[in-house]
Structure 1
Amino acid sequence: MSSQDPTVFGSLAESLADVEGVTETIDQIVGYAVEAMETSYGGITLIQSGGRSFETVGATHPSVAEADRMQYELREGPCVDAAVDTKIVVSDRLTTDDRWPEWGPRASAFGFNSILCAELHARGRRIGALNLYGTDEATFSPEDIELAALFARQGALALGYARSEEGLREALATRTVIGQAQGLLMERFGVDADRAFSTLQRYSQHHNIKLKVLCRQLVATRVLPDGPAGTSTATTEPVAAVPEPA
């Protein structure tokens, strides 16, 4: 089924080196995989909430996301199996595959008749699965399976790195904005950094607003937001009206 081009992994590695962020990394992984496997339909299942839920990312077509969604609702299907139980899941004929008696016929209604899924494993744990759908009933060769597994391994490493890098950037950005908010309170009240941070924490807890959200709004507007996290309402009180911690 696949083209077996030995240069594809070199091209993928070069492409991944030039992208930034998790979304771009996912799109590159899926794009190269579907091209190498000579299909147009693919995506990645990510494990969420410690395995209690799943999310489809990088879907090349809305039908992929919908077919995946049905698996998550039924808790039945190859993407779920590959994400949590099995390294490789292959089906040449979804309509008659007795492993998924409910999902298989539904997937066929979307025009999918075969599938190859490979687990994504990074940093010592499963993070999801790479899913490649076929519109024809197809026999996957050992080379096809090996190629999908190689894409999944390389993709998992790149995705794990991208997540770590993005998390680090977010952590640094959060640290910066918290420092800026502390600076505002230090200037207004003449308090030290520890006292300013304590004030921010108390306000965050009392108003049920995440600390980073509180600090971003404070830095942007110079007034304190009011209400639960997720609201955009701000008080009319100036920063100087914030009570100094005891």
Structure 2
Amino acid sequence: MSPADDGTLRKLAGTLSGVARTLQAEPDVETTVSAIVKVALDYVAGAEYAGIALVERGRIHTVAPTGEIVRAIDKLQYDLREGPCVDAIAEHQTYRVGNVGRERRWPSFGPAAARNGIHSLLSYRLFVSDRTLGALNFYSSRVDAFDQRTEDDGTLFATHAAIALIGAQREAQLSLAIDNRDIISTAKGILMERHDIDAAEAFRILVEASQSANLKLHQTAAWFVENRGQG
């Protein structure tokens, strides 16, 4: 390895360490995603725009785009069901495209993207283990904006981004679970005090009410607490 290559690797390692610390400090999923996109755009050479296509409940939607053009290009892919972003998610691969208007793999999306002024795209699957979170996408109005080295560097960044994103999602789920548990406990306490019943009976009443109203248990409990058992 030449001194120049060694210096580049050291710089890359330092950058990724800083990125990891930055993302880890973000408090929730929305802020984490926004931070990922902001840092990514600064980090990936040749990128003019960036965004994340997030998979939630089996559907893909764009979050934290750095420009409206990102939403437009992503919507084309979702509507046409073709393009580097949807393929990165479905095929579990990275896609680098230098002239999308002439790309035979996406005969409908490619020309449409080019007409919107986007010619180069770079899409990474965001995943941990076998779980796909979505895709990290970069866009440029220039032809051949991304080279192999850019793709390789971006792969390392996408790995850190996926770890940060899954961590934020799990923390959000834990926080929601705790909030739901607390609201259910509060509702049980109101029922116990009002009707002089034990915890098991109060819980049974909440379960029956949630089934009758076709609501989740925590939604029933929240309504009960808000209305303090009225009705």
Amino acid at match of 1:167: Q
The aligned residue for residue 233 of structure 1 is: none
Count of matched residue positions in the alignment of Structure 1 and Structure 2: 220
The aligned residue for residue 19 of structure 1 is: 26
- Equivalent position SS for 1:138: coil
Matches for 1:165-204 after TM superposition, within 5 Å: 165-204=171-210
Q: Percent identity?
A: 34
How many Å apart are 1:103 and its aligned residue?
A: 0.8
Give the ranges of 4+ consecutive aligned residues of structure 1 lying more than 4 Å apart after TM superposition: none
The aligned residue for residue 30 of structure 1 is: 37
TM-score, structure 2 normalization: 0.90
How many Å apart are 1:141 and its aligned residue?
A: 2.1
| Separation (CA, whole Å) in 2 of partners of 1:126 and 1:84 | 9
CA RMSD across the alignment: 1.6
Instruction: Select between 10-19 and 72-81 the one with higher mean Cα deviation.
Output: 10-19
Instruction: Select between 196-205 and 7-16 the one with higher mean Cα deviation.
Output: 7-16
The aligned residue for residue 110 of structure 2 is: 104
| Separation (CA, whole Å) in 1 of partners of 2:115 and 2:220 | 48
How many Å apart are 1:204 and its aligned residue?
A: 1.0
How many Å apart are 1:148 and its aligned residue?
A: 1.3
Preserved CA contact (<8 Å) 1:130 1:152: yes
Instruction: Select between 117-126 and 192-201 the one with higher mean Cα deviation.
Output: 117-126
Matches for 1:7-156 after TM superposition, within 5 Å: 7-38=14-45, 39-50=47-58, 53-156=59-162
Matches for 1:197-236 after TM superposition, within 5 Å: 197-223=203-229
How many Å apart are 1:199 and its aligned residue?
A: 0.6
The aligned residue for residue 3 of structure 2 is: none
Which segments of 5 or more consecutive residues in structure 2 lack a partner in the other structure? 1-7
More helix by share: 2
| Separation (CA, whole Å) in 1 of partners of 2:140 and 2:161 | 20
| Separation (CA, whole Å) in 2 of partners of 1:147 and 1:96 | 26
Instruction: Select between 5-14 and 146-155 the one with higher mean Cα deviation.
Output: 5-14
1:193-232 CA distance string (max 9 Å, x none):
11111111111111122221221122122145xxxxxxxx
